[in-house]
Amino acid sequence: MRAAALALSLLLTPTSATPVATPVDTDHFHHYVALGDSYASGPGIPTQNGTPPGCGRSSANYPGDLARWLRVAHFTDMSCGGATVPQMTTPQPTGNGTNPAQFDALRPDTDLVTLTIGGNDISFGEILTTCGTLGATDPTGTPCRDHYVVNGDDTLADRVNRLAPAIDRTLATIHSRSPRATIILVGYLRILPPSTGCWPQVPFAAGDTAYFDRTERALNQMLGTRARAAGAHFVNPYLFSITHDACQPADRRWVEPLRPANPAAPIHPNAAGMTAVAGLTWLATLGAR
């Protein structure tokens, strides 16, 4: 981890994560397919491109950065906001067009695949809405945790555990369709700190910020375990975003709060966060050789 942190620090400035020197890597990967949800697609980050527009796909998302750095001859970005595991194999209707099944882009000669998935499968959006709404009822308590933990059973932890077999099947299908591909499963940047939050930027009750953070860490841990079991590589941006969550100052954060100061969707990565994830994923491609 020290080597990765040092290499990443050479790529990024201390605050904004703007590349100091763009990595250039040629003649290794030739057909790169990017798969995943909004933490891959980059809604709200300029410049929005791709079809359908409803996917919120940015040319400055981490797959776009990575493709430019690798200078791949063929790059297909299938990522789409709101995607879940089923959308890997079935079309996804959006508010503005339909995204084809993401696996349709995989070919036998595909040699690099990145995937960010799982947040929507455990209903991150619902959790954020529920915690934000309940926060107003008991600002100093744990109303969201009390909502999801019933008779000692943590329903969000159960969601994470139930998702694991679907991640296994997803990785196995990628390998079967593109047997030559280096597969990199990419986790999630830290969204909220593990203790004190930042009301009203993110209106969680005082005790619920830590609960949400624990759920996110559990998701990333599960994804890493399943990636290693499948022989894939795992990138965990959380570890490198400890001081860059949505509660940090605008010039430092990699994830925006409910009212973004940097161009991005609320509670989503901004361009700096995407560049950081791209840098970590680029380092993973070096380790895959």
* Structural domain contains residue 16: no
* Structural domain contains residue 278: yes
**Host domain of residue 121:** 29-287
Q: Which residue has the higher pLDDT, 288 or 14?
A: 288
In the chain, the number of structural domains is 1
Residue 75, pLDDT above cutoff 60:
yes
Single out the residue of 67, 85, 258 nearest to residue 170, CA to CA: 85
Mean pLDDT (whole number) for 109-127: 98
Residue 1, pLDDT above cutoff 90:
no
Residue 13, pLDDT above cutoff 80:
no
Catalytic residue list contains 176: no
Report the mean per-residue pLDDT for the chain.
92
Considering 31, 233, 244, 268, which one is annotated as catalytic?
Answer: 268
Distance CA 188, CA 245 (A): 11
Considering 31, 38, 41, 79, which one is annotated as catalytic?
Answer: 38
* Structural domain contains residue 188: yes
Answer whether the bond into residue 19 is a cis peptide, omega within 30°.
no
Q: Which residues contact 32 (CB under 8 A, 6 or more apart)?
A: 63, 66, 67, 70, 72, 74, 75, 76, 110, 111, 112, 113, 114
Distinct helix (H) and strand (E) counts, the chain: 8, 11
| Least-confidence region, from 26-40, 240-254, 256-270 | 26-40
Residue 16, pLDDT above cutoff 60:
no
pTM of this prediction?
Answer: 0.93
Structure tokens at 157: 């932890």
DSSP line for 108-171:
TT--EEEEE-STTTTTHHHHHHHHHHHHTT-TTS-HHHHHHEETTEEHHHHHHHHHHHHHHHHH
Residue 9, pLDDT above cutoff 60:
no
* Structural domain contains residue 144: yes
* Structural domain contains residue 90: yes
Q: What is the C-alpha radius of gyration for the chain, rounded to an integer number of angstroms? A: 18
Residue 155, pLDDT above cutoff 80:
yes
**Helix 271-287 and helix 2-11, axial crossing angle in degrees, nearest 10:** 130
Contact 285, 184 (CB under 8 A): yes
Q: What percent of the chain has pLDDT over 70?
A: 90
Mean pLDDT (whole number) for 195-217: 94
Q: How many CA atoms lie within 13 A of 253 on its CB side?
A: 27
pLDDT at 23: 65
* Structural domain contains residue 261: yes
Residue 14, pLDDT above cutoff 90:
no
Catalytic residue list contains 38: yes
Q: What angle do CA 116, 122, 128 make, to 5 degrees?
A: 100
pLDDT at 287: 80
Q: What is the CATH number of the domain that holds 218?
A: 3.40.50.1110
pLDDT at 20: 45
* Structural domain contains residue 234: yes
Mean pLDDT (whole number) for 115-141: 96
* Structural domain contains residue 15: no
3-state secondary structure 123-137: CHHHHHHHHHHHHCC
Q: Where are the beta strands (DSSP E) in the chain?
A: 31-36, 48-49, 57-58, 74-77, 92-94, 97-99, 112-116, 149-150, 153-154, 182-186, 233-235
pLDDT at 12: 53
Q: Which residue has the higher pLDDT, 231 or 27?
A: 231
Residue 289, pLDDT above cutoff 80:
no
Mean pLDDT (whole number) for 188-196: 93
Mean pLDDT (whole number) for 72-77: 98
Dihedral sign, Cα of residue 198, residue 238, residue 60, residue 86: negative
